[in-house]
């Protein structure tokens, strides 16, 4: 479990704990000994420059890639994901950057895509699905859409993001991973999505947000983790970081400004 340095110890209280995750693609070492804790009811921001390994790490958590080394613990149990379905079955849902919505289908149809409910017989149970979709959207306070029977093509970027999130959380989700959720959004819509992220954490879900936007990160994140060239160089409560230290960590892998507690987690991995 731990790598012997003591710094890689898995926090038993975290919903998801990654221990010493290695991943390489041929000669390219994408991740090296990554330890990451994602606690429930908190927003964890995963930061890193391009090529730092954020996407690979997310793909490992969502079951798309299998790690070459290390362990994944889910609610304290060691787990192995062979396919994305294994991760989904545990309650890990990913909202991809492109949202993966069908523009020609309406909100209800998109939220249930691939998991449609049926009446006795083969016909779809539209009434039941519409009620469930409305309840989920209402619980997330997504109320700006005029009708949940409008095609997704007619929604704004923020509303589309909301639909994608609602789809992710309506299946007994415990961890929602969001890849650059605000990248394509205007100011007001970014606000709407950030509020939504906070509400998810308030509802007890773990949220792992990947973002380049430090404003957004400091706005919503309870915890911050920084990847640099495939290594996790720092993680800890967001209060232990400031903008400058995060930039230094993202670009150089170290920062003189990081508070001791945060850097401690990373120290053992540096060698």
| Interacting residue ranges for other proteins, rule: CB under 8 A | 85, 96, 98-105, 109, 113-116, 118, 122-124, 127, 130-131, 134, 137-138, 141-151, 153-160, 184, 186-189, 191-192, 195
Is the CB of 105 or the CB of 247 nearer to other proteins? 105
Is the CB of 104 or the CB of 252 nearer to other proteins? 104
Say how far apart CA 95 and CA 177 lie, in whole Å. Answer: 6
Is the CB of 117 or the CB of 243 nearer to other proteins? 117
Is the CB of 148 or the CB of 221 nearer to other proteins? 148
Q: Token pair for residue 223?
A: 């915890």
Taking the complex as a whole, how short is the minimal distance between the CB of residue 243 and other proteins, in angstroms? Answer: 24
Taking the complex as a whole, how short is the minimal distance between the CB of residue 82 and other proteins, in angstroms? Answer: 15
Neighbour count for residue 100 (Cβ, 10 Å): 12
Neighbour count for residue 66 (Cβ, 10 Å): 13
- For residue 60, CA distances in Å to 63, 72, 76, 125, 197 come to 5, 9, 18, 35, 22
Taking the complex as a whole, how short is the minimal distance between the CB of residue 61 and other proteins, in angstroms? Answer: 16
Taking the complex as a whole, how short is the minimal distance between the CB of residue 173 and other proteins, in angstroms? Answer: 15
CA 49 to chain centre: 17
User: DSSP class of residue 50?
Assistant: T
Taking the complex as a whole, how short is the minimal distance between the CB of residue 214 and other proteins, in angstroms? Answer: 21
For the beta sheet containing 28-38, the strands, ordered from the edge strand earlier in sequence to the opposite edge, are 28-38, 16-25, 69-74, 77-79
Is the CB of 52 or the CB of 56 nearer to other proteins? 56
Is the CB of 79 or the CB of 145 nearer to other proteins? 145
Residues written for the chain: 271
Tokens 């149809």, residue located: 109
- Closest to 238 (Cα-Cα) out of 255, 218, 253: 218
Taking the complex as a whole, how short is the minimal distance between the CB of residue 73 and other proteins, in angstroms? Answer: 26
- Closest to 69 (Cα-Cα) out of 10, 5, 22: 22
């Amino acid at each position: 479990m731990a790598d012997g340095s003591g710094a890689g110890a898995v926090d038993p209280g975290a919903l998801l704990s990654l221990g010493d995750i290695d991943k390489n693609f041929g000669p390219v070492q994408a991740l090296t000994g990554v330890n990451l804790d994602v606690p429930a009811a908190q927003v964890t921001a995963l930061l890193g420059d391009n090529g730092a390994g954020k996407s690979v790490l997310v793909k490992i958590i969502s079951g798309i890639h299998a790690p070459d080394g290390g362990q994944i613990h889910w609610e304290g149990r060691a787990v192995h994901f062979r396919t994305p379905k294994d991760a989904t079955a545990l309650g890990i849902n990913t909202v991809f950057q492109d949202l993966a919505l069908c523009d020609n289908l309406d909100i209800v149809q998109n939220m249930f895509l691939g998991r449609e409910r049926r009446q006795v017989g083969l016909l779809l149970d539209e009434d039941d699905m519409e009620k469930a979709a409305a309840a989920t959207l209402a619980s997330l306070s997504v109320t700006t859409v005029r009708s949940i029977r409008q095609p997704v093509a007619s929604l704004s970027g923020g509303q589309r993001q909301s639909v994608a999130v609602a789809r992710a959380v309506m299946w007994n989700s415990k961890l929602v991973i969001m890849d650059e959720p605000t990248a394509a959004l205007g100011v007001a819509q970014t606000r709407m999505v950030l509020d939504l992220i906070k509400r998810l954490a308030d509802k007890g879900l773990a949220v792992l947000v990947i973002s380049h936007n430090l404003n957004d990160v400091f706005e919503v994140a309870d915890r911050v983790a920084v990847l640099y060239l495939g290594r996790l160089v720092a993680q800890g409560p967001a209060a232990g970081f400031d903008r400058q230290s995060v930039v230094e960590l993202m670009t150089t892998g170290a920062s003189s400004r990081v508070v001791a507690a945060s850097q401690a987690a990373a120290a053992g991995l540096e060698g």
